[in-house]
Amino acid sequence: MKKVKISFPQIVVDQREVEVTEEQFEDLTEHSSDDEKADFIWSKMTEQEQQWTQGKKWIENAIDAGYCGVAK
């Protein structure tokens, strides 16, 4: 199984390695839109981490600004 690194947009930027299937890896690193990446990151955040944000739209904006995302 491969891993991708996801960055969470919080007061302090946190990174976490998350195991994904080959298909998810290809999709996340090559084909996913910012909205799909935001959904993936949101699903990997704890409830407490989600409360530190202003929702998935905030994550999309952070991806667009370049301080949140999915990396190989």
Res 42: pLDDT? 92
As given in the structure block, the two tokens for residue 13 are 């930027």
Nearest Cα to 18, choosing from 39, 36, 2, 35?
2
Q: Is the pLDDT of residue 11 over 70?
A: no
Which 3 state secondary structure label does DSSP give 35? helix
Res 10: pLDDT? 60
Place of tokens 């199984």: 1
Question: What residue ranges do the domains of the chain occupy?
Answer: 2-71
Is the whole-model pTM more than 0.85? no
User: Above pLDDT 70, what percent of the chain?
Assistant: 93
Res 72: pLDDT? 85
pLDDT digits (tens, 9 = 90+) for 27-62: 999 999 999 999 999 999 888 888 887 888 888 888
